[in-house]
Structure 1
Amino acid sequence: MTSATTPPRSRPPQRSRARRLVPLGIAVWVVLEVWLLTLVGQAAGGLTVFLLLVAGVVIGGYVIKRAGRRAWQNLAGAFQQPGADPAKPAPEAGGGNMLPMLGGLLLMCPGPVSDAAGLLCLFPPTRKILQRRVERLLARQVRHTPGSFGDAFQQARMHAPDGKVVPGEVVRDDEPPAPPRQDPPLPR
């Protein structure tokens, strides 16, 4: 007589709190945007809402294009200057182009809440505050999560003192050298 044993039930992997709350937050954000757009439409009219949406797309596209052009010019200028580090943003760039690009993208999203958030990313005093908070958050995240992202972020933050790249090849002492290739003699 044999008895069949049932394997222990495996529980599904637990999802993190962020993985559970992000979809809910996005749904709430979309409902809020639609509700506010309908309120603006009732107060000012449908044509006004349409013009606001078109203006947001045009202004957001312009901001993204301008920030991308500035990033490209900073990168090209860093490569042209000897001893400059291309990974460091130029001082006149205002600390990088990530937040202006995010602001332009938020302006392109329809709705007054995303427009307000996009304008906060573009306004210089609030952009500096946001940038400091994002840097602090990333630095804290890197310290608490060792692994590929943390290591890559730390390596990206490290800068060579002179910014020079020396071409060459890596020679390891622990590997035996490959035997020299011996070709047969060519027939005459």
Structure 2
Amino acid sequence: MRLLLFLAFLVVPVLEIWVLIRVGEVIGGWTTVGLLFAAALSGSWLIRREGRRVWQSVSESLAAGRIPDRELGDAALLLAGGALLVAPGFVTDIVGLACVLPVTRPLVRGAARWFFAQRLRKLAQAGPMPGMGGPLGFPFGAPEGDGPTRHGNRTVIHGEVIRDEPAGDPDGGTQARRPELG
């Protein structure tokens, strides 16, 4: 993860500046600025168009009773791609287009799925974080009221007893009177 942050904040801006200088030398400074502006405008248009399509597919999945996992992944890729397309630079525009275009989005989605699966495997192998050794990641076991607790050799399950009573006999046929509330 540190390597990715290093790349994102140091190497990518330096690479962008280098590419901008090289492109500017070939096609001219004002043409390069115009091309960057055109890329940002066309990228924002593409984001709006693809965003509508993804939103429609999320709605259709929910209407069909399915969990929209692929569609939400596409929405996350569109968000990341949109940020990259609006940022000035040709390298980020290429990566942003890969996240946004429907032809390349499945490839990027698969790569992202693989990356996050690897990260989750590493986290699972590392075990619980320090201070978070209980079940479900809570330091002293499950939070109160969310499940059974152990007292010595007994398991206590917190709950409420509800008795079915006949409609005409509120105290279930017993002679004892219940205390009235209020």
Q: How does the TM-score come out when normalised to structure 2?
A: 0.59
Shift of 1:51: 1.1
1:91-112: CA deviations, max 9, x gaps? xx9x733334433322222112
Q: Is the 8 A contact 1:60 1:106 kept in 2?
A: no
Q: Which residue of 1 aligns with 2:24?
A: 41
Q: Percent identity?
A: 31
Q: Secondary structure at the match of 1:41?
A: helix
Counterpart of 1:32? 15
> What per-residue deviation string (whole Å, max 9, x for no partner) do you get for residues 114-165 of structure 1?
12222333455543332222212222222331469xx8xxxxxxxxxxxxxx
Quick check: 1:136 aligned with 2:114?
A: yes
Contact 2:84 2:92 in 1 (8 A): yes
Gaps of 5+ in 2: 130-135, 137-145, 149-155, 162-178
Distance verdict in 2 for CA 1:88–1:106, change over 3 Å: same
Counterpart for residue 99 of structure 1: 77
AA partner of residue 182 (structure 1): L
Q: Distance in 2 between matches of 1:181 and 1:42?
A: 89
Asked if 1 retains the 8 angstrom alpha-carbon contact of 2:36 and 2:90, the reply is: no
Whole-Å separation in 1 of the counterparts to 2:116 and 2:22? 37
Tell me which residue corresponds to 1:182.
Answer: 181
How many matched pairs? Answer: 141
Q: 1:145 to 1:181 in 2, by over 3 A?
A: farther
2:62 maps to 1:63? no
| 1:108 aligned partner | 86
Q: Secondary structure at the match of 2:39?
A: helix
Query: Can you list the C-alpha shifts for 1:24-64, whole angstroms capped at 9, x where unaligned?
Result: 65222212211221222222122211211111211221222
Task: Tell me how far apart the structure 1 counterparts of residues 45 and 107 of structure 2 sit (CA, whole Å).
Answer: 23
> 2:158 & 2:180 partners in 1: Cα distance?
17
Distance 1:88-1:113 versus aligned 2 partners, 3 A rule: closer
Query: Please, which of 70, 74, 95 is the counterpart of residue 117 of structure 1?
Result: 95
Of structures 1 and 2, the one scoring higher in RCO (CA 8 A, sep 6+) is 1
Q: What secondary structure sits across from 1:96 in the alignment?
A: helix
Instruction: Output the amino acid matched with 2:66.
Output: D
Distance in 2, matches of 1:143 and 1:67, equals 32
Q: TM-score under structure 1 normalisation?
A: 0.58
Structure 1 gap segments, 5+ residues each: 1-17, 152-169, 184-188
Partner of 1:9: none
CA RMSD of aligned residues (A): 3.6
